[in-house]
């Protein structure tokens, strides 16, 4: 297209040039012809004037002052002057007679009056005459000169010879001077119209060309824009369609092809409605709108974004978002639509709704759950504002949910300690939980108190947990319960233990002491059988005492009130003390005991009383559940962060089926029940509790009739102190 | 050696009494705190040591010791508590009051307790002589 335009431009320039050149040539021609005509006319006219002059009179002239009084001269002068008026209209200024004498040109009669500055007396020499004058004298032929300049102006002259009729002798030449300016003005007069015509034609040509170019450019721009539009429409990711007033498709881009499966060929000219809009769904709507569009070129959908379902060639329902615009050109009115396939969005929306519903359900469930549990629950947002309080929380605190929600939990719920002092914000379980990111529970042993709306207080067990959303703190949950009753029960339990220990042990002490005295012979010597019986009573009584002790220990450990009082402990010494207690037993069973303790082992920070109990139980078991001549090994080693003790025997072992129940309260292995009747089934339970409350771990490996190995490890960094109320074995 | 035994359980008191008699130890048997104080005030020669139970009919061992320590004459008598109730709290408060030893009744034979008492008296005498 652009090539075409530049071609047109060249043609245009060429034609313009031709017009100008032609105009110029025509004008010049006209100028030339005009000049020629004028000179020809001048010649003819001059010849006819010359013919009227009588050569006989000329013959009498002398071209000297003598002529002044010559009647012929006067006559010729009159004759010339008479025609002068007429001559003037022909542009002739002067007419005169010239004689040639002695190679000089001399004036004689003339039309010029004597008062004219251009007047020359008869006999005056014609200085610097035009060349043609001479030529006339030579050729004796009329001639018109080229324009020439003299002191009087610029002239063109016609020279006519005057001859003697009878002899044909050249007498004189008559000259007619015509103002060149006159000729020029005539020429100008003649050429003005061709110049104007040329200009007009050129201007007309320019206008026509301009119009043509504009049209060409417009067509070109239109084509360009159409091309661009077509490319853009086809490149569009979204389907772009257009529908004429008949409801037929006039535009169907590539994306539309892809989305709906109809090619452009298939789609163009078809009814949009029938092609992609399911009739049963939008029939009425579409018909009304289309009717309105047909009649008025307007539709309520223009400028709007519609959401509707469409159908593809394969029958797939495609939910779309359709933005419709009215496009009006000179010739037609169309509806232009951009379609966005919103299947994915719809699917997301569906999932979102599903999720929202399940969340709602979940929330309902949670609400029911929270309102039906027996503990108070407060939910707090990241600004520590209460966002939820369940029924129990409202009841316990005396505040209604309305009064609590949106309030700062620290400002509205005061926490006090046992001495009625308000606990500082940063020391409250909630703060600690948020700070540490862990669940924090308050202890029942040293309870804290919540203050109710009416300023009364009640002891609570608090479990505060931070809530993290995507790893970011977003609030906290405070679960609490009134532990007034628990404290009472705990107190009663402690009193019971204390009392029971006292009450149970008193008769046991009496039995112990009296059997001791009997066996000692304090009440006289006993027979062998009596001695045996009393001995049995004493042993049974001792077992009873130990059972009570163990039960009390367990009860204390379970209550969580056990004191753990770690001090640097030499395990070697501790173990040798334990082994010392069993010396007679070992001797009795003829068992071998091997102790191997890492000599570099430093003192371990643990509660010696508790750890003594662990070793005592494990070593006692090893002795008890190994046959005579058995071998017991005790190893103590340490790794990077813990001390590991190992107690191995080559005894009866633990049956596979019993192994999972070894640490269960009152459980005793089936195989050893028959061999060793003495035992409570409490020892391993107790020491597991001790090891675990010391931050350690206990485990074992055993095979029937091959032996058992127990390991337990304690943290090398030391056991944490626990402030309790009781210790074991009291 | 002369001992004051304060124990409210008659059977235990009797056993202690018999055993000490056998061991030829002079003994004052009191089944209540009141009786104990009576012996202390009435006896010309104060006992070398006091064998004390914790729970008594009329007082707790703690109150008994507090009373005892109030009297300058009695304050230096060594005390051994033999009780079946030996919570850490009790033991610690008794030791803090100046009780020399706290034994768990059921865990000790009479002979062993007597040995402990004798040792206690011996150390006390040494301390006093010095």
Q: What whole-number distance in Å separates Cα of residue B81 and Cα of residue B96?
A: 13
Q: How far is A411 from chain B (nearest CA, A)?
A: 38
User: Are A180 and A157 within 8 A, CB to CB?
Assistant: no
**Sequence-ordered list of residues with C-beta below 8 angstroms from that of A699, at least 6 positions apart, any chain:** A710, A711, A712
For chain B, the 3-state helix, strand and coil shares in percent, each to the nearest 5, are: 55, 20, 25
Q: Name the residue with higher pLDDT: A495 or A249.
A: A249
Q: Per-residue pLDDT for A224 more than 90?
A: no
Residue A703 sits at the chain B interface (C-beta within 8 Å): no
| A412 confidence band (pLDDT: 50, 70, 90) | confident
Q: Per-residue pLDDT for A724 more than 70?
A: no
Q: How far is A633 from chain B (nearest CA, A)?
A: 29
Reported as type and span, the H/E element at residue A378 is strand A376-381
Q: What whole-number distance in Å separates Cα of residue A138 and Cα of residue A133?
A: 9
Encoding tokens for residue A510? 């009496």
Q: How far is B129 from chain A (nearest CA, A)?
A: 34
**Contact check, Cβ <8 Å, B18/A512:** no
Q: What is the pLDDT of residues B18-39, one digit of tens each?
A: 999 998 999 999 999 999 999 9
**Facing residue for A509 by CB, picked from B19, B91, B105:** B105
One DSSP character per residue, A107-171 reads EEEESS-TTSTT---TT-B--S--HHHHHHHHH---EEPPPEEETTEEEEEEEEEEE-TTT--EE
| A706 confidence band (pLDDT: 50, 70, 90) | very high
Burial A298-320 (b: 16+ CB within 10 A, else e): ebebbeeeeebebbeeeeeebbb
**Sequence-ordered list of residues with C-beta below 8 angstroms from that of A570, at least 6 positions apart, any chain:** A603
Q: What whole-number distance in Å separates Cα of residue A695 and Cα of residue A689?
A: 10
To the nearest 10°, report the CA torsion of B11, B13, B16, B21. Answer: -110
Highest mean pLDDT among A442-456, A491-505, A648-662: A648-662
Taking contacts as CB-CB distances below 8 angstroms, the residues of chain A near B86 are 730
Q: How far is B111 from chain A (nearest CA, A)?
A: 9
Q: What whole-number distance in Å separates Cα of residue A154 and Cα of residue A133?
A: 16
pLDDT at B130: 47
Q: What is the pLDDT of residues A655-699, one digit of tens each?
A: 998 898 888 888 888 887 777 777 778 889 889 988 988 889 999
Taking residues A314-319, what's their average pLDDT? 88
| A722 confidence band (pLDDT: 50, 70, 90) | low
**Helices B61-70 and B88-97, axial angle in degrees (round to 10):** 10
Residue A496 sits at the chain B interface (C-beta within 8 Å): no
Question: Burial of A704 by CB count in 10 Å (0-12 exposed, 13-18 middle, 19+ buried)?
Answer: middle
Assign domain A236-341 to its CATH architecture: 2-Layer Sandwich (3.30)
Q: What whole-number distance in Å separates Cα of residue A724 and Cα of residue A490?
A: 13
Residue A573 sits at the chain B interface (C-beta within 8 Å): no
Q: Which of A609, A501, A491, A729 is nearest to B85 (CA)?
A: A501
pLDDT at B127: 66
User: Are B114 and B23 within 8 A, CB to CB?
Assistant: yes
Reported as type and span, the H/E element at residue B69 is helix B61-70
Residue B24 sits at the chain A interface (C-beta within 8 Å): no
Q: What is the pLDDT of residues A158-190, one digit of tens each?
A: 888 988 888 888 888 888 888 888 888 888 888
**Contact check, Cβ <8 Å, A517/B15:** yes
Give the start-end residues of each E strand in A562-686.
567-569, 592-597, 604-606, 631-638, 642-649
User: Are A177 and A157 within 8 A, CB to CB?
Assistant: yes
Q: If you count residue pairs, one on A and one on B, with CB atoms under 8 Å apart, how many are there?
A: 69
Backbone angle region of A719, left / alpha / beta, with phi > 0 → left and psi within -120 to 50 → alpha: beta
Q: Per-residue pLDDT for A358 more than 60?
A: yes
Q: Per-residue pLDDT for A362 more than 70?
A: yes
| A727 confidence band (pLDDT: 50, 70, 90) | low
pLDDT at A636: 93
Q: What whole-number distance in Å separates Cα of residue A329 and Cα of residue A251?
A: 15
Q: What whole-number distance in Å separates Cα of residue B80 and Cα of residue B52?
A: 6
**Contact check, Cβ <8 Å, B12/A508:** no
Q: Per-residue pLDDT for B44 more than 50?
A: yes
pLDDT at A220: 83
Q: What is the pLDDT of residues A102-119, one digit of tens each?
A: 888 888 888 887 787 878
CATH of the domain at B72: 3.40.50.2300
One DSSP character per residue, A607-629 reads -HHHHHHHHHHHHHHHHHTS-TT
Domain A2-188 falls under CATH 3.40.47.40: no
User: Are A392 and A385 within 8 A, CB to CB?
Assistant: no
Domain spanning A560-715, CATH class: alpha beta
User: Are A501 and A548 within 8 A, CB to CB?
Assistant: yes
| A353 confidence band (pLDDT: 50, 70, 90) | very high
Q: Which domain holds residue B53?
A: 2-129
**Facing residue for A510 by CB, picked from B15, B104, B109:** B15
pLDDT at B128: 59
Mean pLDDT, rounded, of chain B: 89
User: Are A685 and A663 within 8 A, CB to CB?
Assistant: yes
Encoding tokens for residue A713? 């490890």
Q: What whole-number distance in Å separates Cα of residue B66 and Cα of residue A307?
A: 93
Residue of A nearest to B84 (CA): A502
Give the start-end residues of each E strand in A495-545.
none
pLDDT at A730: 56
* C-beta neighbour count of A426 within 10 angstroms: 10
Q: Which of A131, A180, A139, A147 is nearest to A163 (CA)?
A: A139
Q: Name the residue with higher pLDDT: B73 or A299.
A: B73
Strand A457-469 versus strand A448-451 pairing type = antiparallel
CATH number of A373-482: 3.30.450.20
Q: Per-residue pLDDT for A304 more than 90?
A: no
Q: Which residue's structure tokens are 């316990």?
A: A396
Interface test with chain A among B7, B82, B84, B86, by most A beta carbons within 10 Å: B84
pLDDT at A397: 93
Residue B93 sits at the chain A interface (C-beta within 8 Å): no
Q: Which of B52, B56, B8 is nearest to B31 (CA)?
A: B8
Question: Burial of A437 by CB count in 10 Å (0-12 exposed, 13-18 middle, 19+ buried)?
Answer: exposed
What are the strands of the beta sheet with A707-715, ordered from one edge?
Answer: A592-597, A631-638, A642-649, A707-715, A697-703
What are the C-alpha distances in Å from A365 to residues A362, A369, A372, A388, A468?
A: 5, 6, 10, 15, 21
Q: What whole-number distance in Å separates Cα of residue A549 and Cα of residue B105?
A: 12
Q: Per-residue pLDDT for A717 more than 80?
A: no
Residue of B nearest to A503 (CA): B84
Interface confidence, given as ipTM, is 0.91
Q: What is the pLDDT of residues A519-569, one digit of tens each?
A: 999 889 999 999 999 999 999 999 888 888 888 877 777 776 677 788 898
- pTM score above 0.80: no
Q: How far is B91 from chain A (nearest CA, A)?
A: 9
**Facing residue for A726 by CB, picked from B84, B87, B106:** B87
Mean pLDDT, rounded, of chain A: 86
Percent of chain A with pLDDT over 70: 97
Q: How far is B44 from chain A (nearest CA, A)?
A: 30
Taking contacts as CB-CB distances below 8 angstroms, the residues of chain B near A548 are 106
Q: Which residue's structure tokens are 């014609």?
A: A126
Taking residues A133-147, what's their average pLDDT? 88
Q: Per-residue pLDDT for A27 more than 80?
A: yes
Residue A229 sits at the chain B interface (C-beta within 8 Å): no
Q: Which residue's structure tokens are 């030529």?
A: A135
**Facing residue for A517 by CB, picked from B11, B18, B54:** B18
* C-beta neighbour count of A504 within 10 angstroms: 18
Residue A195 sits at the chain B interface (C-beta within 8 Å): no
Q: What is the pLDDT of residues A3-15, one digit of tens each?
A: 667 787 888 888 8
Domain count within chain B: 1
Residue A581 sits at the chain B interface (C-beta within 8 Å): no
Q: What whole-number distance in Å separates Cα of residue A157 and Cα of residue A171?
A: 19
């Amino acid at each position: 297209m652009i090539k075409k335009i530049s071609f047109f431009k060249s043609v245009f320039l060429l034609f313009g040039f031709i017009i100008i050149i032609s105009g110029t040539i025509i004008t010049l021609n006209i100028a030339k012809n005009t000049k020629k005509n004028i000179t020809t006319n001048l010649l003819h006219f001059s010849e006819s004037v010359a013919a009227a002059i009588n050569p006989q009179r000329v013959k009498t002239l002398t071209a000297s002052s003598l002529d002044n009084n010559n009647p012929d001269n006067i006559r010729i002068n009159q004759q010339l002057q008479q025609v002068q008026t007429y001559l003037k209209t022909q542009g002739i200024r002067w007419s005169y007679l010239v004689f040639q004498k002695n190679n000089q040109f001399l004036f004689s009669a003339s039309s010029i009056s004597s008062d004219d500055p251009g007047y020359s007396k008869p006999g005056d020499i014609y200085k610097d005459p035009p060349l043609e004058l001479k030529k006339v004298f030579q050729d004796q032929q009329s001639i018109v000169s080229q324009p020439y300049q003299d002191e009087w102006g610029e002239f063109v002259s016609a020279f006519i010879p005057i001859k003697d009729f009878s002899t044909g002798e050249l007498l004189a030449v008559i000259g007619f001077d015509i103002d060149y300016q006159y000729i020029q003005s005539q020429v100008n007069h003649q050429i003005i119209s061709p110049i104007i015509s040329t200009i007009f034609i050129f201007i007309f040509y320019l206008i026509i060309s301009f119009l043509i170019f504009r049209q060409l450019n417009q067509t070109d721009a239109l084509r360009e824009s159409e091309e661009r539009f077509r490319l853009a429409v086809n490149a569009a990711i979204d389907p772009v369609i257009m529908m004429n007033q008949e409801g037929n498709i006039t535009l169907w881009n590539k994306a539309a092809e892809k989305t709906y499966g109809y090619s452009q060929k298939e789609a163009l000219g078809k009814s949009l409605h029938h092609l992609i809009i399911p009739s049963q769904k939008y029939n009425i709507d579409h018909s009304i709108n289309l009717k309105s569009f047909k009649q008025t070129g307007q539709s309520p959908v223009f400028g709007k974004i519609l959401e509707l379902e469409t159908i593809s060639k394969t029958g797939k329902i495609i939910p779309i978002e359709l933005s419709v615009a009215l496009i009006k050109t000179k010739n037609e009115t169309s509806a232009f639509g951009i379609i966005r396939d919103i299947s994915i969005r719809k699917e997301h929306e569906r999932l979102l709704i599903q999720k929202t519903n399940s969340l709602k359900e979940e929330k309902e469930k949670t609400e029911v759950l929270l309102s039906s549990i027996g503990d108070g629950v407060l939910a707090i947002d990241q600004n520590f504002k209460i966002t939820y309080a369940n029924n129990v929380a409202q009841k316990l605190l005396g505040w209604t949910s309305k009064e609590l929600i949106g309030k700062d939990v620290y400002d509205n719920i005061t926490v006090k300690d046992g001495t009625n002092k308000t606990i500082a914000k940063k020391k409250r379980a909630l703060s600690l939980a948020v700070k540490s990111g862990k669940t924090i529970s308050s202890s029942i042993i040293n309870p804290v108190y919540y203050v109710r709306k009416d300023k009364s207080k009640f002891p609570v067990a608090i479990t505060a947990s931070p809530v993290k959303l995507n790893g970011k703190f977003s609030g906290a949950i405070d679960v609490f319960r009134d532990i007034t009753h628990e404290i009472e029960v705990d107190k009663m339990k402690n009193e019971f233990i204390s009392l029971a220990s006292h009450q149970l042990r008193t008769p046991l002490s009496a039995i112990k002491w009296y059997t001791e005295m009997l066996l000692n012979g304090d009440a006289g010597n006993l027979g062998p059988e009596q001695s045996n019986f009393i001995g049995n009573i004493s042993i049974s009584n001792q077992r009873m005492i130990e059972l009570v002790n163990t039960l009390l220990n367990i009860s204390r450990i379970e209550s969580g009130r056990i004191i753990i009082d770690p001090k640097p402990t030499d395990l070697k010494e501790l173990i040798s003390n334990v082994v010392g207690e069993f010396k007679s037993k070992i001797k009795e069973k003829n068992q071998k005991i091997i102790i191997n303790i890492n000599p570099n082992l430093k003192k371990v920070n643990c509660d010696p009383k508790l750890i003594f109990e662990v070793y005592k139980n494990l070593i006692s078991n090893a002795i008890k559940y190994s046959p005579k001549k058995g071998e017991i090994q005790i190893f103590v080693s340490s790794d990077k962060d813990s001390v590991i003790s190992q107690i191995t025997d080559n005894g009866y072992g633990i049956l596979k089926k019993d192994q999972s129940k070894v640490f269960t309260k009152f459980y005793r292995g089936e195989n050893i029940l028959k061999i060793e009747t003495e035992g409570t089934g409490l020892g391993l339970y107790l020491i597991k509790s001790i090891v675990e409350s010391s931050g350690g771990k206990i485990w074992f490996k055993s095979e029937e009739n091959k032996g058992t190995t127990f390991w337990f490890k304690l943290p090398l960094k030391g056991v944490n102190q626990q402030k309790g109320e009781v210790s074991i074995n009291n | 050696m002369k001992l004051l035994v304060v124990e409210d359980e008659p059977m235990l008191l009797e056993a202690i009494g018999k055993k000490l008699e056998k061991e030829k130890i002079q003994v004052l048997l009191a089944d209540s705190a009141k009786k104990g104080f009576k012996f202390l005030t009435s006896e010309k020669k104060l006992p070398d040591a006091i064998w004390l139970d914790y729970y008594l009919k009329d007082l707790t061992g703690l109150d008994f010791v507090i009373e005892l320590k109030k009297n300058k004459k009695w304050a230096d008598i060594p005390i051994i508590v033999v009780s079946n109730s030996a919570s850490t709290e009790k033991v610690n408060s008794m030791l803090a009051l100046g009780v020399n030893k706290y034994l768990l009744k059921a865990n000790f034979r009479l002979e062993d307790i007597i040995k402990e008492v004798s040792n206690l008296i011996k150390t006390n005498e040494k301390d006093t002589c010095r």
